[in-house]
Amino acid sequence: RSGTRASLRHVYSEHRGGINWLSLSPDGDHLLTCSEDGTARLWETKGLQCCALLQGHDSYVTHGHLENDVAYTCSADHTVRKWDMATGGCMHVFRGHTSIVNRVLVASGCLFSGSYDRTARCWNPDSGRQLQEFRGHRNGVLALAHFSAQDLVPDYALSGGQGGDFLVTGSTDCTVKLWLVLNGHCCHTLRGHQGAILCMLLDVPGRALFTGSRDHTVRCWDLATGEQTRVLQDHQGSIICLEFVNRHLYSGSTDRTVKCWMVASGECVRTYKSHRHTVSTLQFYEGILFTGSGDSCARAFDTTSGILRRVFKGHKFIINCLQVHNQMLYTVSHDCTMRVWDVRGLYKCDQGEDSESRWKGSFGIGLSRVRRNRVGCLGLSHRPTTATSTRNDQEGREDTLELD
């Protein structure tokens, strides 16, 4: 059924450009919105007031990451910035990239960034100093993930059996690379996709990596060996977003569907339809699969029955990102707004899957869920034009993707 006005709690329209990304702090107290207007905003989830306006970037903000006390944003101005959440002041500007920075990731005390300049970089988040550059891709880096060798099984064989932290990068050159963070050495190049890597997700306990591509497939890889273990083929369009829950993998596509796969067998066990455009973002939460689409609607599906439980209508353009917290749904769109929906009526106590069992990739590739930031908007209709986006679209044209 359609969401009624009673489920819509708030509409926030402070941004003056489309909102590309939404991040939730680990403690759940704050949200971060990243916008085409060149700013980011911090919001308190209790009371939902804007508590800080983060200004300083010279172009649109592509992505962000929240810790409990600091925020990170990256931009088409080629920089990453670190912000004090208490004051809204900029603490560091990380310079070195030579093109649009698509994604940031914080892990093991380091800050990582990926860019259209074909590199990923590692930074000291406290000093702002660049620690490592990962160079080897032939095209832009869209997705990032991180894992530690000690989190894998004891017979882990990367880098001659040495331990350490590893960065995973997905690129528009159709490859994925695994890098040893300590020295920047590329341990594996994963080949097989015939299109750009748009999203990525890790299942470290299962020592598995899942990648979604413009070639319409999801591929599964063994993290220890770099070998491809399975190809999931059933979609008729590019794979935009991934979610992994209790041995089930969910994939959202430009073919207007989400598919649920049994990872062990590679079988597609359910297809969630009813979207009228690309599935741009998804998140599993307490037995419900929430999706956002290019048709400007969010949807809630019961993962046990597959039934569409609710359609959330109100946005005017593509929903770029969503978060669910304390039974409230937050959606952000290229219509410049964030909307907050009450979803308490969707839940039953006996639903079997545990929301804490999710593993996310391209971390936010939370991996978001690896979301594709601007790539997911290219080729989609209904994208409003802002002065910021028009001015900078020329810069990324070499890597522009038309998503099928």
Mean pLDDT value of segment 134-147: 98
The rounded Cα 139 to chain-centroid distance in angstroms is 19
The pLDDT mean for the chain works out to: 86
Tokens of 145: 């993930």
Q: Which residues have C-beta within 8 Å of that of residue 149, sequence separation ≥ 6?
A: 156, 158, 159, 162, 163, 164, 165, 166
Confidence at residue 347, expressed as pLDDT on a 0 to 100 scale? 74
User: How much is the pTM?
Assistant: 0.86
Kind plus residue range of the DSSP H or E element containing 377: helix 373-377
12-37 residue pLDDT tens: 999 999 999 999 999 999 999 999 99
Amino acid at 232: L
Contact indicator for 234, 259 with CB cutoff of 8 Å: yes
Q: Give the tokens for residue 130.
A: 């660049």
Q: Which residue has the higher pLDDT, 154 or 338?
A: 338
Two structure tokens written together for 336? 């410049």
| Band of residue 281 on the pLDDT scale cut at 50, 70, 90 | very high
pLDDT band at 239 (very low <50, low <70, confident <90, very high): very high
What is the pLDDT, as a whole number, of residue 294? 98
For 143, how many CA atoms within 13 A lie in the half-sphere containing its CB?
40
pLDDT of amino acid 153: 54
Name residue, tokens 């963070």.
181
pLDDT-based confidence at residue 367 (cuts at 50, 70, 90): very low
Interatomic CA distance for residues 93 and 286, integer angstroms: 38
Please report which residue ranges of 77-184 form alpha helices under DSSP H.
Answer: none
Q: Are 241 and 370 in contact (CB under 8 A)?
A: yes
Token digits for 86? Answer: 């208490």
How many angstroms separate the CA atoms of 216 and 244, rounded? 18
CB 181 within 8 A of CB 132: yes
DSSP state of 368: B
Tokens of 214: 């413009």
Q: List, for residues 94-131, the tens digit of each pLDDT value.
A: 999 999 999 999 999 999 999 999 999 999 999 999 99
DSSP one-letter code for 198: E
pLDDT of residue 329: 97
pLDDT tens sequence across 307-330: 999 999 999 999 999 999 999 999
pLDDT at position 224 is 86
User: In the chain, what percentage of residues exceed pLDDT 90?
Assistant: 78
Q: What is the pLDDT of residue 395?
A: 40
Contact 383, 211 (CB under 8 A): no
Across the range 163-178, mean pLDDT stands at: 95
| Range 5-396: architecture per CATH | 7 Propeller (2.130)
Instruction: Please determine, for residue 160, whether its predicted confidence score (pLDDT) is greater than 60.
Output: no
pLDDT at 208: 96
Give residue 161's Cα distance to chain centre.
31
Tokens at residue 94, please? 């990380």
